[in-house]
Amino acid sequence: MNSRSVFALLLALTAAVSVLADLTPSQVTNISCAQRWPWNGKVDINYTLSSTSPSPVFRTAFYGQIGSGEAFALNTLEGDGACGVTFAAGVKRITWDASVDKPNTDSSSVKVGIIALDVTKAAEYLILDLNNYTMSYTMAGPDLSNDNPSRDAYKTWKIYFKRINPGTYYMGSDPTEPGREPSTNPTVYEDKHEVTITKPFYIGIFECTAAQYAMINSGSSSSTKTPAVSVNMDDLRGTAYGATWPTETDHRVDDNSFFGRLRQKTGYSLKFDLPTEAQWEMAARDKGDGTYDDDGIYNYDGTFHGDKVWNDGSSFWKTKVVEDPLDPERSYTTNVVDYTDMARLGWCQDPNSAVHDVGLKEPGINGLYDIHGNAWEYCLDRLSVHLGTSAVTDPVGDASDTRFIVKSGSVYVSDPTNYCRMAMRMGRNARTTNIGFRIAIVF
């Protein structure tokens, strides 16, 4: 292929195939390309996607054709849509290494086809295959039933992500929430306040497992389905670019970090990262349909307790009839803390046990597993001791603290009433056997 040739992008296909007839085809326009100069075998392909959805998901495919011959795969793509999925409408760029895919070919006869389908309604979940780092989408969560021979794949060489739509919710807790640290001596403050998240994001339905961590970091295979623990922020994001959050909020990470390797293997157009604390808690409180309404339960003193503290939509408060010890004929009804439901949702209060395989408990109402207990989970934010009570939009944490927020509690904690609540927050930056993380895709 010589440097004087000019690629002609002649094809932009937008028709949906029959099996995807329920999906809305996107508009692919403004296709153009340019060879790198000096010539290094690479071609930059620009195209524009449009959609009626405010936060679209596009399934993308690219292929080449020489004259009227058979189509061939473009195997050396990088950029927007290279992994098979891209997000948001607008101008996109993909880079193709033509010298690898089609060496010694007269480029003037090459055409490139682009297929992009708007699959927003069908992309409730994304699945990343760690064997080839391609993405697929589905409306259903994973089948973890015992009679499904592929159930362990989602905990070893595939990663399942749940879409969380933009919205507004209440983060933190009321002063009367059971288990909350006393306001006179808090570890960190859980000030209740309104939070608005303006962009969608995806979050792993499981904590990242040791098998997935090893496959991404070193390419080694493993069958270990327990959370990847004994990691810290240096391992996950790096010490240079990765340490700039939130001073730099563009989600940069070091190439030699865990997330740097993951991005390189999938294409830099996907920002794999940790969720912010606000994103983590929003995902935990999501009812599964993008709403975060109150549960309408009243506290023993008559005050309204409107926040759910369990990921299945229930509350700590249970009604109990109590007899007066001084007057056996007299009894009264009160609300008490009862976290027996916790045993269905997560691993806690087991100081003699190590972390367990992910996904063995019931999922929450929005399809996420192990939101309570098993391993603490790192968030992207550095610790802000005071959340404040003012409404905020897309909060990013404190730039000055050296600790990072961890959420969810762990199998080791002896007081799940306190530590396993969705609002619970602590600051850590250490490699320990009870702190792991959950992968997100952010925009």
The residue with greater pLDDT, 347 or 272, is 272
The total domain count for the chain is 2
pLDDT at residue 278, as a whole number: 97
pLDDT at residue 267, as a whole number: 77
Whether 132 and 114 map to the same domain: the answer is no
- Tokens for 43, please give them: 């071609």
Give the pairing of strands 426-428 and 404-407: antiparallel
- Tokens for 18, please give them: 């029959």
Gap between the Cα atoms of 372 and 416, Å rounded: 9
The residue with greater pLDDT, 2 or 438, is 438
* Residue 295 is assigned to a structural domain of this protein: no
pLDDT at residue 55, as a whole number: 85
Burial class (CB in 10 A: 0-12, 13-18, 19+), 103: exposed
The residue with greater pLDDT, 70 or 223, is 223
Whether 237 and 386 map to the same domain: the answer is yes
pLDDT at 378 over 90: yes
Arithmetic mean of pLDDT, 89-100: 92
pLDDT in tens, 1-10: 443 333 333 3
Helix (H, G, I), strand (E, B) or coil at 98: helix
The residue with greater pLDDT, 337 or 291, is 291
Gap between the Cα atoms of 15 and 60, Å rounded: 12
Gap between the Cα atoms of 144 and 130, Å rounded: 19
Arithmetic mean of pLDDT, 174-200: 79
Whether 144 and 224 map to the same domain: the answer is yes
* Residue 54 is assigned to a structural domain of this protein: yes
Gap between the Cα atoms of 340 and 343, Å rounded: 6
pLDDT in tens, 227-253: 999 999 999 999 999 999 999 999 999
From residue 425, give the alpha-carbon distance in Å to each of 73, 102, 295, 347, 442.
48, 53, 22, 17, 21
* Residue 331 is assigned to a structural domain of this protein: no
Domain end, chosen from 119, 144, 170, is at 119
Whether 130 and 157 map to the same domain: the answer is yes
* Residue 315 is assigned to a structural domain of this protein: no
pLDDT at residue 216, as a whole number: 98
Whether 132 and 115 map to the same domain: the answer is no
- Tokens for 152, please give them: 């362990």
CATH number at residue 197: 3.90.1580.10
Whether 79 and 137 map to the same domain: the answer is no
How many helices and strands in the chain, by DSSP H and E?
Answer: 7, 26
Percent of the chain with pLDDT over 90: 47
pLDDT at residue 5, as a whole number: 35
* Dihedral angle over CA of 31, 36, 40, 43, nearest 10: 0
* Residue 168 is assigned to a structural domain of this protein: yes
Give the pairing of strands 42-50 and 158-164: unpaired
**Residue with token string 């969720």:** 275
Whether 136 and 25 map to the same domain: the answer is no
* Residue 6 is assigned to a structural domain of this protein: no
Whether 258 and 395 map to the same domain: the answer is yes
The residue with greater pLDDT, 66 or 416, is 66
- Tokens for 283, please give them: 């995902």
pTM over 0.75: yes
pLDDT at residue 20, as a whole number: 31
Which amino acid type is present at position 422?
M
Whether 194 and 150 map to the same domain: the answer is yes
CATH number at residue 60: 2.60.40
Task: Name the pLDDT band for 301 (thresholds 50, 70, 90).
Answer: very low
Whether 217 and 134 map to the same domain: the answer is yes
Whether 74 and 164 map to the same domain: the answer is no
Task: Name the pLDDT band for 212 (thresholds 50, 70, 90).
Answer: very high
Arithmetic mean of pLDDT, 290-300: 54
- Tokens for 306, please give them: 């409107």
* Residue 438 is assigned to a structural domain of this protein: yes
Question: For residue 79, what are the domain limits?
Answer: 18-119
* Residue 327 is assigned to a structural domain of this protein: no
Q: Which residues pair with 335 in a beta bridge?
A: 319
Gap between the Cα atoms of 143 and 150, Å rounded: 8
Domain end, chosen from 84, 119, 154, is at 119
DSSP state of 110: E
Whether 103 and 164 map to the same domain: the answer is no
pLDDT at 254 over 70: yes
